Amino acid sequence: MQSFNPSDISVSKLHGLMLGVIGPRPIAFASTIDENGKPNLAPFSFFNMFSANPPILIFSPARSGIDNSTKHTYQNVKVHKEVVINIVDFAMVQQTSLASTAYPKGVNEFEKAGFTMLPSEKVKPFRVKESPAQFECVVKEVVELGTEGGAGNLVICEVVKVHVRANLLDENLHVDQEKIDLVGRMGGAYYCRANGNALFQVVKPISKSGIGVDKIPEDIKNSSILSGNDLGQLGNVEELPNETDVNEYRLTELSQCFVDNEDDPNTLEAVLHNKAKELITGGKIDEAWMTLLSFNN
């Protein structure tokens, strides 16, 4: 590991380093209006949701690290405390990036980036029609984190109206993660696309209490074949298979493995661990456990 004190490196290097390792970051495509009612549109990847009751979103238009200037979005929410946060999908990411250009104050980024201004229902700033989801918000507070270049300004917003493209939702208001095709910011010029093979599921230990990795037998826990992710899934079961089930599985599903390697315990163990890893990858955790425990039995 290389270790750094933040004060020992330049703000630009620290900024780039943080962006390179903290990601992917969702993008707040923020629509505001200035004191004269002129629209402004800009993307910010210092953004996330922080509460559902009340529904709170926070994004941060930071001060410029070059000249310490502030973003038009920051200036606007200080005088008109409303914002629409539009979600960015893959189909609009290039236009969204174009809207980040430092155009002079008063320039309409909707027009520059080729987006459609859609009237909001509860706030004055416009929505981005092309966005798959839009959150109309009132600004509750702006927390200024510093006065030097690179300092953030946390814009704390309460959602007062939600709009989501209908074909993305099922009857329970669950969003189809393939269809919404979200993108996230990485370091430098890199983005990532949350679609296809990039999507995977992790079973959350909310409704049950897993045994934990510490309860996994040492020979399995110290396996050179199983990864930390594999062990995490093994530790998420509530109890281990009983000996009867393990023995039956060994005789029916693993008999050939034992016959082929009966004179070489080390090879047999490696074969079983590799087979268990394949089962874990396929989501067959109980079968993986029985495969691993069959060696001990």
Q: Which residue has the tokens 């062990």?
A: 231
> In Å, how far are 30, 91, 131 from 85, measured between CA atoms?
5, 17, 10
> In Å, how far are 62, 97, 193, 258, 285 from 19, measured between CA atoms?
13, 16, 17, 50, 36
Helix, strand, coil percentages, rounded to 5, for the chain:
35, 25, 40
φ, ψ at 99 (rounded to 5°): -70, -15
Q: Which two tokens stand for residue 247?
A: 């023995």
206 has pLDDT over 70: no
Tell me whether residue 212 is exposed, middle or buried, using C-beta atoms within 10 angstroms of its C-beta: 0 to 12, 13 to 18, 19 or more: middle
Which of 252, 244, 294, 242 is closest to 273 using CA atoms?
Answer: 294
Mean pLDDT of 176-196: 95
Cα–Cα dist 200/131, whole Å: 24
Cα–Cα dist 232/229, whole Å: 5
Report the amino acid identity of residue 106. G
Per-residue model confidence as pLDDT tens digits over 94-116: 999 999 998 999 999 999 999 99
Mean pLDDT of 63-71: 89
93 has pLDDT over 90: yes
Cα–Cα dist 24/136, whole Å: 24
Per-residue model confidence as pLDDT tens digits over 214-223: 999 999 999 9
Per-residue model confidence as pLDDT tens digits over 37-48: 999 999 999 999
- CATH 3.30.1330.10 corresponds to the domain 6-198: no
Is 122 in contact with 136 (CB distance < 8 Å)? yes
Residue ranges per domain, the chain? 6-198, 213-296
Per-residue model confidence as pLDDT tens digits over 137-155: 999 999 999 999 999 999 9
pTM given for the model: 0.84
202 has pLDDT over 90: no
CA dihedral 25, 31, 33, 37 (to 10 degrees): 170
> In Å, how far are 135, 143, 192 from 139, measured between CA atoms?
12, 11, 29
